[in-house]
Structure 1
Amino acid sequence: MIEELLPPSVAAVEAFADPAEPPALFPEEERHIARAVDKRRREFATVRVCARAALERLGGPRVPLLPGERGAPGWPDGFVGSMTHCHGYRAAAVARAGDLVSVGIDAEPNEPLRERGVLDTIALPGERAALAGLATRRTGVSWERLLFSAKESVYKVWFPLTRRWLDFEEAAIDIDPDAGTFTARLLVPGPEVDGVRMPGFTGRWLARDGLLITTIAVVRRPAVPPGPRDADGGRRAVA
């Protein structure tokens, strides 16, 4: 279902359960989770099965996928991607770097945040005020959890572009309950992508089968071919 939220250039693979037998990992990956509990080992392995399957669809190599700085997964040269896992769901989205600059995905259970203090931590005053209005417009969606998921997707798409931390209060989320979209307005200087400073990101979301899923895909801007020059060497406008 996550592929519904992503451009066609993205290969997305999801799983709704872990295999009965944990999938084989590369030795480097095994060392990374050597001391992890069984639950963590299973989600780590299954989401990498998804990621390698997505890479394979794009002709990518079969390589170890190790968490790097701040836990962001490392991808083979020429590819960008994102992983997510929650109870009953694992997914990975991968694209060629020539098609996407960055991608972020997140999945959460469609249920309220477990601790009330979490909302105060992640939400700006305007976002908290908007949650009540969203609940009256559409029932059946845990809007506070969706807000959290959207901010997770923002961070996942932000970090590969900046290599910097982004606090929850440094992006303001506006959710459209009817269109299944959201916008993230950055409250700090945004990354420069293809020569353009980004003020924020746009994303998509869905609520289905007890899950909330959010995605952001930053599509690479097509190169502008050089136009004809006038006799003095200046660029001429082309109608």
Structure 2
Amino acid sequence: MIEYVVPAAVRSRAAYGDELDHAPLFPEEAEAVARAVAKRRAEYAAGRACARAALSALGTEPVPILRDAERGAPVWPDGVVGSITHCDGYRAAAVAYATDILTLGIDAEPHGPLPQGVFDVITATPAETDALADLTGRAPEIHWDRLLFSAKETVYKAWYPFHRRMLGFEEAELLFTRDPDVPDRGSYTARLLIPGPLLAEGTGPDHFSGRWIARNGFVVTAIVVPNEERGEGAGDEEQAA
């Protein structure tokens, strides 16, 4: 599913169920989760396996993918940007060369209603609440609250490498559209509600744009920001599925 929401410049790999939960780790990766519970170790192993498969498709040698000391975000090889996600039954990674893509963030969630109380944690803005009510009335088969939660995660993942701090759910406002020809897919925009540049000063767009898909029991979302300085664009075509 991830292949439907990222452009051609991005390489991705996904795994369903426990397909890669016992994939081998580099020693330093294994040490990083040595004290973690079995579920967390499985998610970590599958995520790293997906990431290495995506890196291989990009033409990069397999390397340990450790976590930064601040927030635990993946540390990618020089010249590469990427993102990893996992939820029950689905793990995925996406990577690209920094010459093509400035930053990206992906997220996956089970396609079902958010657990009770979680929507309050998201702190939806009035515009988001009104828009989701309208979308729910027109397309109740999509769990728009879950989609909002997932998409806000992608905003943070795309924003974090430039600012190195948490971004609250209430600090970004997201609005969704649905593809009239493919009703389980669509796009979204994210506007930050805090002062300062979206990425680095003079770098990137003034808002994030993302894509979403709700299929096979999962919601998958992605923000991918092209590196416009490359001069050729990163390609808008999605990967072949």
TM-score (norm. length: structure 2): 0.87
Give ranges in structure 2 of 5+ residues lacking alignment.
181-185, 232-241
**Amino acid of the structure 1 residue aligned with 2:33:** I
Hey, what does 2:71 align to over in structure 1? 70
2:55 is aligned with 1:48: no
CA deviation string 1:63-115 (max 9, x = no partner): 11112131210000010000000011000000011100001000001111112
Q: Does 2:183 align with 1:182?
A: no
Which residue number corresponds to residue 16 of structure 1?
16
Q: What one-letter code is carried by the residue in structure 2 that aligns with 1:65?
A: I
Q: Distance in 2 between matches of 1:5 and 1:163?
A: 25
Residue 15 of structure 1 aligns to a residue in which SS?
strand
Q: Which residue of structure 1 aligns with residue 239 of structure 2?
A: none
Q: How far did 1:194 drift?
A: 8.0
In the alignment, is residue 30 of structure 1 matched against residue 30 of structure 2?
yes
Describe the SS at the equivalent of 2:22: coil
Using the TM superposition, give the Cα deviation of residue 60 of structure 1 relative to its aligned residue in structure 2, in angstroms: 1.1
- Identical positions, percent: 52
TM-score, structure 1 as length reference: 0.88
Q: Is the 8 A contact 2:20 2:46 kept in 1?
A: no
C-alpha offsets along residues 1-24 of structure 1, whole Å, 9 cap, x if unaligned? 211111101001000022387111
Question: Does 2:203 match 1:204?
Answer: no
In the alignment, the residues of structure 1 paired with residue 200 and residue 216 of structure 2 have an alpha-carbon distance, to the nearest angstrom, of 35
Q: Evaluate the alpha carbon distance shift between residue 127 and residue 58 of structure 1 in structure 2; reply closer, same or farther with a 3 A threshold.
A: same
Aligned partners of 2:188 and 2:211 also within 8 Å: yes
Task: Indicate conservation of the 8 Å contact 1:137/1:177, yes or no.
Answer: no
Aligned to 2:140: 139
Aligned partner of residue 14 in structure 1, secondary structure: strand
- Residue identity matched to 2:129: R
Larger RCO, structures 1/2 (Cα 8 Å, 6+ apart): 2
Instruction: Tell me, yes or no, if structure 1 residue 218 matches structure 2 residue 219.
Output: no
How far 1:219 sits from its partner (Å)?
Answer: 0.3
The answer to which of 81-90 and 198-207 deviates more is 198-207
Unaligned runs of 5+ in 1: 225-239
For the structure 1 residues 33 and 133, does the alpha-carbon distance in structure 2 shift closer, same or farther, using more than 3 Å as the test? same
- Is the 2:20–2:45 Cα contact (8 Å) retained in structure 1? no
Q: After superposition, what is the alpha-carbon deviation per residue over 1:109-136, rounded to whole angstroms, capped at 9, x for unaligned?
A: 11111122x2122112221222211111
RMSD: 1.9
- Match in the other structure for 1:127: 128
The count of aligned residue pairs is: 224
Q: 1:194 to 1:6 in 2, by over 3 A?
A: farther
